[in-house]
Structure 1
Amino acid sequence: MEENGGNIHADSTFCGSPAVVQVIQKVIAELIGTYFLIFAGCCSVIINNAEETKGRITFPGICLVWGFSVTILVYSLAHVSGAHFNPAVTLSFAIYRHFPLRLVPLYFIAQVLGSFLASGTLYLLFEVNEKTYFGTIPSGSYIQSLVFEILTSFLLMFVVCAVSTDNRAIGKLGGIAVGMTIIVNVFIAGPISGASMNPARSLGPALVMWVYNGIWIYVVGPFVGAILGATCYNLIRYTDKPLREIGASSKIFKTSACTSAT
């Protein structure tokens, strides 16, 4: 009895430890954030394409809904979980040690589950058919859509790295910068690939409605683009020091000064 009691006490202590509670909070925040991001963005797509409300939101309106949703959720949840809402962003952060690798699987599960639940909610609320399908399907060729997904994911991750990992950037405006990037990306890639930039965004609707046309594009493209974007920013980043300190200590600048003096 004492051993069993000791085990129970140890388990409860483990579950109640600050570290475990913090992880649970992060995972829940990612699930909630992804849920409302997908719900809001995909809901705008359904309403705009449905016969009764066709064209009321318009394509620019859809772009704004996605961008504003990201901005709102970043400012609401970034201090809790980092506000990734995107497996490609999570993995890219982990690769460059801005995020614990051990939490990657938990974030993946939370993000995909959040998207799945949001998609399921929309499927129950609306009569969804081929015209009102709110997932992502290539409009052009597979290669064209893949390139768009890589490029838009690259830009998104490049901006995310700038505002969240570099203290020389204006951090307080990070949510606005990321939201505006989403708006631009949806404007340019929406008519071609659907502008997913997020494997979870595409997997949720696909799993709910069993539509897997070109689904590999929305898994491969965002991961490749995000990792490349993070890699490029880390290459040009060089250091956390302000530029004036880099110039003051750089051998190149010193050599140039000596040359001009002689």
Structure 2
Amino acid sequence: MAEISSGSANGNHTGVAVNIKDDDDLNQQQLSDDASGCGFLTIPFIQKIIAEALGTYFLIFAGCAAVVVNADKDKVVTLPGISIVWGLVVMVMVYSVGHISGAHFNPAVTIAFATCKRFPWKQVPAYIAAQVLAATLASGTLRLLFKGRHDHFAGTLPTGSDVQSLVVEFIITFYLMFVISGVATDNRAIGELAGLAVGATILLNVMFAGPISGASMNPARSLGPAIVSSNYRGLWIYMLGPTAGAIAGAWVYNIIRFTDKPLREITKSASFLRSSTRSASK
């Protein structure tokens, strides 16, 4: 499991300022956690779930609020504005709680990490439950704030054919997960900039795919508003497309991440920021 954290650690949708640990360290830590029972139904694990839920809540609230306000106020936010909101809120939440929960905020990302053995399967149900609950609560909050004629569906719906939206969701989530895997799990990446990279990827995806599929990339983002509004049309697209895309993106990056360099050499060159810090201290 790769952990992303603000200022020192981990990577998203899925925490940024990524503190990347090598696989041996992660495996040893996981074995220790399993042996002691730590990390599951303990205070540290509960803290992770709370952080994941809070991060997902604010992510969905801010992003969907931009959609609702844009519809309610004569397109005042505009598509570029909505894209910026989604990108920025992901970035700030990754830096805020990434070092605690890993900042997935997305069931597809959680599942993808688990399939690559970078996240324990036993924690997947709890993470997904927290993400879906938080997305539903955020959507419910917006429903209470914008009642009557101001009530606008903040979920995602295909504007063209179902197949078109399914393919678009697969591609953009593949793209997102590929970036996450690169900046959040690879020692050679500039981990401190992971939040910025992930947020920028989401901004770009929403900009061009929003008018087509809604640019969900996140089953919880689509499921929360659907539950609150009882509008399940096309929901299967946003369950299948992002999940399959995230798994494919994670595995494709794993295929190209191979290197014959020693781990110590990779770690030394993992971040130009850390290199600059060492140079300045000499």
TM-score (norm 2): 0.77
Match of 2:201 among 158, 174, 181: 181
Contact kept, 8 Å, 2:108 with 2:242, in 1: the verdict is yes
Indicate conservation of the 8 Å contact 1:137/1:213, yes or no.
yes
Match of 1:214 in 2: 234
When residues 131 and 144 of structure 1 are mapped into structure 2, their CA distance, relative to the original with a 3 A threshold, is farther
1:108-146 deviation line (CA, Å, top 9, x unaligned)? 000000000000000000026698211001001000000
Q: Which of 210, 221, 237 in structure 1 is aligned with 2:257?
A: 237
CA distance in 1, matches of 2:151, 2:204: 24
Match of 1:32 among 39, 54, 61: 54
TM-fit CA distance, 1:19: 7.2
Q: CA deviation at 1:241?
A: 3.7
1:255 match: none
1:240–1:124: structure 2 CA closer, same or farther, 3 Å change rule?
Answer: farther
Cα distance in structure 2, aligned partners of 1:176 and 1:18: 30
2:24 maps to what in 1?
none
Q: Which amino acid aligns with 2:60?
A: I
CA displacement at 1:239 relative to structure 2: 3.5
Partner of 1:22: 44
Residue 16 of structure 1: CA displacement? 10
Divergent runs of 4+, >4 A: 14-19, 128-131
Is it true that 1:89 corresponds to 2:114 in the alignment?
A: no
SS of the residue 1:191 aligns to: helix
List per-residue Cα deviations over 1:38-62 (Å, max 9, x = no partner): 0000000000001xx2221111000
Residues 151/22 of structure 1: CA separation in 2 closer, same or farther (3 Å cut): same
Whether the 8 Å CA contact 2:40–2:123 is kept in 1: the answer is: no
RMSD: 2.4
Which of 136, 145, 158 is the matching residue for 1:116?
136
In 1, Cα distance between equivalents of 2:161 and 2:144: 31
User: What TM-score results when the alignment is normalised by the length of structure 1?
Assistant: 0.83
Structure 1 regions of 5+ residues with no counterpart?
Answer: 1-13, 247-262
Does residue 49 of structure 1 match 2:71?
yes
| Aligned residues between the structures | 231
Shift of 1:242: 7.1
The alignment partner of 1:216 has SS state of helix
Structure 2: 5+ residue stretches without partners: 1-35, 267-282
